[in-house]
Amino acid sequence: MTGASGASGAKASGTEASGLAAVPPRSLIVTVYGLYSRSHGGWLSVASLIALLTPLGVDEQAVRSAIHRLKRRGVLEASKQDGAAGYALSAAGRAILREGDARIFRRERATLADGWLLAVFSVPESERNKRHQLRSQLTRLGFGTMTAGVWIAPAHLYEPTAAVLRRLGLSAYADLLRADHLAFGDLTEKVRTWWDFGQLDALYGQFLDTHGPVRERLRRGEGRGTGSGRGEVSTGRGEISTGGGGVSAGRGEVSAEGADGFRAFADYVRALTDWRRLPYLDPGLPAELLPADWVGLRAADLFFALHADLEEPARAHVTAMLD
């Protein structure tokens, strides 16, 4: 673990690599629902989703397939409003998004005085699928591994951990304990065996490489996007036309204001989609235990700067599309 940006392991292609080619359409749909559906009662029409996502390079069939997968997983429920086919967030979907809000949009850093949260579990071999589910969820919540059945996280993760285990019916298999590290050994060295800092370094470096150019463009005063006169914006993978996405004026042309709104939306959705898994993998360890010049702090600075710059114009773009 070097504390470097990870740029050597995750180079951006082009001037602004979007990473969208590797992002499943359902991840983009979850981002869009999380950001924009709840102000509309948790419901979005299929036509609106297609109009929003087609300009990002997700074709209509991919949107429909991803929606159906989210329905099968119990995140969305089919419903109609005013005769329009659409999907609403299920109760489980709303719970997932609430949990995500608390984790993604807060910068919570533990202190050594806070202590630790231990998750101790033992699952019968006959229910080993539950063991796999427990491990997957603890990893997703940011826990490190002390031993096969003892996982550790900063104590401030107690409430979200308990909520997730209850929601998924896993609470009967685990005990959650608060603990202090009294002895032995160097705690700084131990956390490097409990968490995969190399993976985090690479992921944070990739985020900086991918989305740093967007911030630089905004700093240069180039606005939140520039139209080409044909409704196209550069994403580092060539040009994406708004085409049939519904962002049109006159003969398929996009006004400067509309292009700026679309560019803000595109930049914000892909930044948030790439960002939202990282606060789960990184539990917010005490600063004293982090490497010098920890890349995660710089990546968080970048995300929250982009959030401040892009959230409002992106929302205005979506509101105009939905209205």
Provide the 8-state DSSP code for 14: S
What pLDDT score does 8 carry?
A: 28
Question: What are the residues facing 239 on neighbouring strands?
Answer: 234
Distance from C-alpha of 260 to C-alpha of 227, rounded to nearest angstrom: 7
Distance from C-alpha of 53 to C-alpha of 41, rounded to nearest angstrom: 20
8 A C-beta contact, residue 206 and residue 147 = no
What pLDDT score does 259 carry?
A: 54
Same fold, 24-95 and 116-179: no
What's the N-to-C CA distance of the chain in angstroms?
49
Structure tokens at 70: 């989210």
DSSP string, 164-178: HHHHTT-GGGEEEEE
Distance from C-alpha of 286 to C-alpha of 157, rounded to nearest angstrom: 13
Structure tokens at 120: 């101790």
Contacts of 227 (CB under 8 A, 6+ apart): 233, 254, 255, 256, 258, 259, 260
Buried b / exposed e over 83-101, threshold 16 CB at 10 Å, is eeebbbbbeebbebbebbe
Distance from C-alpha of 153 to C-alpha of 143, rounded to nearest angstrom: 5
CATH topology of domain 116-179: Alpha-Beta Plaits (3.30.70)
What pLDDT score does 18 carry?
A: 42
Structure tokens at 135: 């491990």
8 A C-beta contact, residue 266 and residue 79 = no
Provide the 8-state DSSP code for 36: I
What pLDDT score does 99 carry?
A: 87
Question: What are the residues facing 87 on neighbouring strands?
Answer: 44, 78
Give the pLDDT of the chain (323 residues) as one tens digit per residue. 333 333 323 333 333 434 444 688 999 999 999 999 999 899 999 999 999 998 888 999 999 999 999 999 999 999 999 999 999 999 999 999 998 998 899 888 899 999 999 999 988 888 889 999 999 999 999 999 999 999 999 999 999 999 999 989 999 999 999 999 998 999 999 999 999 999 999 999 999 999 999 999 988 877 554 332 223 333 333 333 333 333 333 323 334 455 588 899 999 999 999 999 999 889 999 999 998 889 999 999 999 999 999 999 999 999 998 87
Distance from C-alpha of 77 to C-alpha of 16, rounded to nearest angstrom: 35
208: nearest Cα among 75, 19, 2, 1: 19
What pLDDT score does 198 carry?
A: 92
Residue 34 φ/ψ, nearest 5 degrees: -65, -40
Q: Which CATH number fits domain 24-95: 1.10.3720.10, 3.30.40.230, 3.40.50.2300, 1.10.10.10?
A: 1.10.10.10
Sketch the domain layout of the chain as residue ranges.
Answer: 7-16+195-322, 24-95, 116-179
Total H helices, total E strands in the chain: 11, 9
Distance from C-alpha of 320 to C-alpha of 268, rounded to nearest angstrom: 16
User: Alpha helices of 5-90 — where are they, by DSSP H?
Assistant: 25-32, 46-53, 60-72
